[in-house]
Structure 1
Amino acid sequence: MTEQPKIAVIVVAGGKGARAGTGAEDVPKQFRSLAGMPVLARTLSSFLAIDGISAALPVIGDGQEAHYAAMGLVHPRLLPPVTGGATRQSSTLAGLEALALDPPDIVLIHDGARPFVEPQVIANVIAALDDASGALPVTLVTDTIKRSHDGKTVGGTEDRTQLFAAQTPQAFRFADIYEAHRRAIEMTDSFTDDAAIAEWAELRVALAQGSPRNIKITHPEDFARAERMIEREMTMETRVGLGYDVHAFTDGDRVVLGNITIPHTAALKGHSDADVVLHALADAIYGALADGDIGKHFPPSDMQWQGADSRIFLKHAADLVRARAGRIVHLDATIVCEHPKIGPHVAMMRNRIAEIVDISPSRVAIKATTSERLGFTGREEGIAAQAVATIELPRSD
């Protein structure tokens, strides 16, 4: 049995937060209340809620001890705070020095002013270390980015397909980033990003999927946005829907499952492309919305859907969720058949489904099973699929 790596997190929270303002009292942003709970307390609790995190180490600023103590945080895996330096780089190094007394295998370095970090983002950066010394979560840049040499006129346009917005936590193999930090501080203390130090040290840094929700509180308006996010979550409800579909085999040489074409000795018979996976998933979403089924939205009597790509149906269901200010949390489908073999195509299906509904592939599960030669699927007369959709919607009652 493989031993699990020891993982610690450094939460850097030593800044004065001048750009965010201090509110009515002279309190740095990381100690200000956000919906009744200090920002830093929210951030630390996000990591302490994960059993795989062995220790959380806060790094606070000189003179901030009273603010930290006032939060009254107690947890068996929460280490006493250490005092950082004048820059983020020096503060992070102070945290690394403290952990070096009992070094972890992996260290996560996170901004204390990012209180909405999600478990999936944390898992993503840890997983990305499988073949790299470091990893950071990123989101795609969707705006067109202009470059200017004088701040007044356009000097060029960047290729945004090669641009990503960096977030934290950034994950590293402890020994690698500790050595890089110790070398870097001898040259400068102006690095504002740990991945940049890793790049400077010529370490391989991988990209991992971040989250638009993982915002950093920097300006006064960010507090208002964060309050709205919390208020929205408090008024959201979770819905679960179930979907089922079956199609019989007919003459042909391929089937479409999960929007992936798979060679086979037969085809599936249906009004559209007979993709039982997408049909079951769409019906599961419609069920969670309490809004009928595919037949209601795309009647089989309507000839415009003859031979249609079933991604149309699934995308429509996902669009209805967004139209109601909701989000798809998770999709789970099970394919029941003797043949073809599904395993080699699961990764492609997950990626394609995630693309259609615009969520991370980590939120899509595809499984396959046989019916032990029982029933119509056991006799290889057709293929069935069951699906469960978990969504969040604003409360309507």
Structure 2
Amino acid sequence: MFMTQKIGVVIVAAGSGSRFGDPIPKQYHMLGDKSILAHCIECFARHTAPEFIQVVYNPAHQHWYQDCTKSFDDVLPLPAPVAGGDTRQQSVLNGLRALAHQEPDIVLIHDAARPGISDDVIERVIAALATHSGAIPTLPVADTIKQTDSRGVISRTIPRESLQRAQTPQGFAFKTILNAHQKFEGQEFTDDAALLEATGLDVVCVAGTTNNDKITHKNDFGRAQSWADMTNKEETHMPQEEYRSGTGFDVHRFAPGDHCVLCGIKVPHSARLDGHSDADVGLHTLTDAILGAIGEGDIGQHFPPTDMQWKGAPSDIFLKHAADLVRKRGGRIVNVDVTLICEQPKIGPHTPAMRQKVAEILEIDVDRVNVKATTTEQLGFTGRKEGIAAQAAASIALPRQ
């Protein structure tokens, strides 16, 4: 717990969850052995005292709220929840005002529909506030972004390298964000960071996590349930695990084309990679590393190049298969590291999207994925720009036999 400063928390749980399509608001649905809201409360309680955690709710949900928090009454006595407003912005302001008498130094503002928040993300936000007025967790945008006109016709492609998906908790100096909310009361902003942007103050981005994506629709709940199951398994079985590592190496030559697929991302280039599938050298070598860690041979044994059903196939199929084999054995992927070896194309601008894509395929946090690149100083076939090589390492935790 950070004790050098007083940390306030506002958890916004006032929404009706109409898009979730269920009579029970999503924040009160059970995820494992506790509600979505309870998951959030427990995580933030590890970083501040209970009296600094202010929940903003809908008074019409009183009975659900009581059921959700009754287990905290003795061990984690929370202040009474405050009613939300007509908008999220007004709800946050109500929460900040209720917290003001505690005089926190900083405040973390979090959406209750993000139960996958983790300690490391919270700590990164708090650490960034030592040098910035605001800090928010974000994820790089992996997909190509198109802007369209009123007819749905594409008007331009927006470069994604500088784009980030915002998450919560968003952290701020308490007085700064309270003043900003009061200054812009009645106006509409998409998130709390936007208020500081409007005042000209800096807000820095820190690494978020895919587990922290917002639950909006019913089909999002399955992803969150998988996270909860994995978390419970980690808490229950960690002492009985053994760790294994595996490595992979792969090479593909260039062929005529206009892009390469690398770690699941289309990278513009004057050539493509030649292979039976989409020739994604990054995912191929990572698949081999994971298979190696669990003693399951190599990619060619599971997906023979002589089998025509894999001709032109996307390589995420192979990587998902390797990850599924780990899960079937009750294991988990601890971390993976991929190195792409080439003179061209330039890999650096695409590594954030590559990390995000690999994390999504493996269903792990993006901070457990590393993708980097190097050259061979113009030596060998990669130095002659004849192709790309890749090597990878994977760490796996399996139940001890």
Q: TM-score surpassing 0.5?
A: yes
Aligned counterpart, 1:4: 4
Per the alignment, residue 226 of structure 1 pairs with: 224
Q: Aligned AA for 1:217?
A: I
**What residue in structure 2 maps to residue 149 of structure 1?**
149
User: How far off is 1:226 after superposition?
Assistant: 1.8
| Match in the other structure for 2:104 | 104
**Would you say how many aligned residue pairs link Structure 1 and Structure 2?**
289
User: 1:55 touches 1:77 (CA, 8 Å); kept in 2?
Assistant: no
The residue aligned with 2:63 is 66
Note the alpha carbon deviations across 1:8-50, whole angstroms, 9 max, x for none: 111001011000012xxx3211112223422111221121134
- Matched residue, 1:92: 92
Taking the TM superposition and a 5 Å limit, the aligned residue runs for 1:22-171 are: 22=22, 26-50=23-47, 55-71=52-68, 72=70, 73-74=72-73, 75-76=75-76, 78-150=78-150, 152-171=152-171
User: Cα gap change, 1:361/1:165 in structure 2, threshold over 3 Å: closer, same or farther?
Assistant: closer
Q: Is the 2:6–2:48 Cα contact (8 Å) retained in structure 1? A: no
**TM-score, normalization: structure 1?**
0.62
Distance of aligned partners of 1:323 and 1:290 in 2 relative to their CA distance in 1, 3 Å threshold: closer
Letter in 1 for 2:215: I
1:295-315 CA-partner distances (Å, limit 9, x unpaired): x9xxxxxxxxxxxxxxxxxxx
What's the offset of the Cα at 1:99?
A: 1.1
Runs of 4+ that moved beyond 3 A: 49-54, 231-243, 288-292, 319-331, 357-364, 389-393
Instruction: Establish whether residue 179 from structure 1 lines up as the match of residue 179 from structure 2.
Output: yes
Query: Is the alpha carbon distance of 1:169 and 1:392 closer, same or farther for their aligned partners in structure 2, counting shifts above 3 Å?
Result: farther
1:20 paired residue number: 20
Give the residue type in structure 2 aligned to 1:43. C
Q: Which protein shows a greater Rg?
A: 1
- Counterpart amino acid of residue 198 in structure 1: L
**1:238-265 CA deviation, whole Å, 9 max, x = no partner?**
544489xxxxxxxxxxxxxxxxxxxxxx
Aligned residues with identical type, % of pairs: 36
- Alignment check: 8 A CA contact 1:10 1:57 kept: yes
State the Cα distance separating 1:290 from its structure 2 match.
6.1
CA contact (8 A) 1:327 1:391 kept: yes
1:65 is matched by which residue type in structure 2? Q
SS at 2:15's partner residue?
coil
User: In the aligned structure 2, how far is the partner of 1:140 from the partner of 1:123?
Assistant: 19
Q: Deviations over 1:34-68 (max 9, x none)?
A: 23422111221121134578721110023222221
Instruction: Name the counterpart of 2:326.
Output: 324
1:92/1:50 CA distance change after superposition, 3 Å: same
Report the 3-state secondary structure (helix = DSSP H, G, I; strand = E; otherwise coil) of the residue aligned with 1:143: coil
Cα distance, 1:322–1:118 mapped onto 2, change above 3 Å: farther
Q: Structure 1's 104 and 161: CA in aligned 2 closer, same or farther, altered over 3 A?
A: same
Considering fraction of residues, name the structure with more helix. Answer: 2
CA drift of 1:70 comes to 2.1
2:196 to 198, 201, 205: 198
TM-score between the two structures when normalised by the length of structure 2: 0.61
Q: Which runs of 5+ in 2 are unaligned?
A: 246-288, 299-320, 337-350, 360-364, 371-393
SS of the residue aligned with 1:324?
helix
Matched to 2:59, the amino acid is D
User: How far apart, in 2, do the equivalents of 1:323 and 1:201 lie?
Assistant: 51
How far does the alpha carbon of each residue in 1:146-166 deviate from its partner, in whole angstroms, 9 at most, with x for none? 111225221211110010000
- How far, CA to CA, are the matches of 1:66 and 1:128 in structure 2? 38
